[in-house]
Amino acid sequence: MREQLQKRVEQLREEFENGQKMLTDLESRQASLRETLMRIAGAIQVLEEELSKSAENDNVENIIAS
Task: Write out pLDDT tens, residues 13-37.
Answer: 999 999 999 999 999 999 999 999 9
Mean pLDDT of the chain: 92
Q: Which residue has the higher pLDDT, 63 or 10?
A: 10
3-class SS shares of the chain: helix, strand, coil, % to 5: 95, 0, 5
Quick one: average pLDDT of 41-55? 94
- Alpha-carbon dihedral sign for residues 38, 44, 47, 52: negative
Domain positions in the chain are 1-66
Task: Give the confidence band of 60 by pLDDT, cuts at 50, 70, 90.
Answer: low
